[in-house]
Amino acid sequence: MSKLVFIMVFCFSPICTIGCSNEDARMEVDSHMDNPWPVLKDTMRVLALGNSYTDDATSYLPVFLADSDIDGEKVCVYMGARAAASLQTWNDLFDINSVVKLSLKAGKLQMPVVEAPLHEILAQNWDVVVLQQQSDLAVDYSSYNPYLRNLIKGIKSVCINPNLSFVWQMPWSHHEGNDKKADILWRRISIATKKQVFYDGIDIVIPVGTAIQNARHSNLPQTGGVTRDGIHLSYGLGRYIASVTWFQVLFSHMDTDWMATDYLYHLSDNEKKAIRENSFYECYDVEREYQDICKKCAYAAVEDMYSISNIGD
């Protein structure tokens, strides 16, 4: 899959202006428009800094890696997560060089430093760093800076890879039993994402929010809007769709036949226990009847992250 699939191009419209209309309004630090992407490498070292949304979205990546042609010894996805963490949270953690512990979410490639002050963790040969905004704040672009720009500048100053790629996870909207409200929140998140791409320059986007919104407009079971509590993704369908989206953006260039692969998922015993104890809504196994719809939700989001696609059977 070509780089053009990953890099989201958008038209300049009144909706993405912030009181300015020229390029002087863009970020003061170096632009990351068309930022480097390691498509010619056979290794991928990914670090995601975020919160429970990051955890949800990466939980099923091992399923896709295991069923792909990718050598798991050459890839890794590590996560640093703090509950309800925002860009400001991670900016503050960077400023004070707080100790952070990473968890290995997918792949078998080991990074040498996984629990240390944040600068030491970042001072490794990462290929990709994924950032995001906390979901409540993601609807409002004014909450992104100066924290996002500071993080980009700080991470670049310590990471030893001069071709480090910055990637943005677009979060999904909350669902409180109201489809129309979820659409409105998603629209605000998509507008903020569009502004982030233009003004802050991270143009490689994992559009999980749009993939989930596509699912809400599909024939998939709709209890809770594919969430387990209105906020976090449902075990089974919700997490599956998010992980498909991550896999497509980050790894599909390493496994060009990924769409044809049978990725099924059945709820684990731990998930079933969590559903009984904590979930507000029913969660579903990813059976064959849902599999293609889930993949289409992700694929359509990567093709057009600023529009909701109606996904049929």
Determine contact, residues 16/49, Cβ cutoff 8 Å: no
Q: What pLDDT score does 33 carry? A: 57
Q: Is the pLDDT of residue 10 over 50?
A: no
Q: Which of 40-49, 89-98, 106-115, 272-281 has the lowest mean pLDDT?
A: 40-49
Angle formed by the axes of helices 208-216 and 179-200, nearest 10°: 160
Does pLDDT of 36 surpass 70? no
The band of 225, judged by pLDDT with boundaries at 50, 70 and 90, is: very high
User: What pLDDT is attached to residue 89?
Assistant: 98
Of 168, 79, 164, 92, which Cα lies nearest the Cα of 127?
164
Domain ranges of the chain: 40-303
Q: At residue 6, does pLDDT exceed 60?
A: no
DSSP string, 216-269: HTSSS--GGGGBSSSSSBPTBHHHHHHHHHHHHHHHGGG-TTGGGS---B---H
Average pLDDT over residues 219-226: 91
What pLDDT score was predicted for residue 82?
A: 97
Question: pLDDT digit string (tens) for 136-161?
Answer: 999 999 999 999 999 999 999 999 99
DSSP letter at 35 equals: -
* CATH number given to 40-303: 3.40.50.1110
222: confidence class by pLDDT, cuts 50, 70, 90:
confident
**pLDDT over threshold 90, residue 256:** no
Residue 186 has pLDDT above 50, yes or no: yes
Structure tokens at 3: 């780089």
Is the model's pLDDT at 49 over the cut of 90? yes
How many alpha carbons fall within 13 Å on the CB side of residue 251? 31
Strand ranges (DSSP E) for the chain? 44-50, 75-81, 99-101, 103-107, 115-117, 128-131, 165-169, 204-206
Confidence band for 205, pLDDT divided at 50, 70 and 90: very high
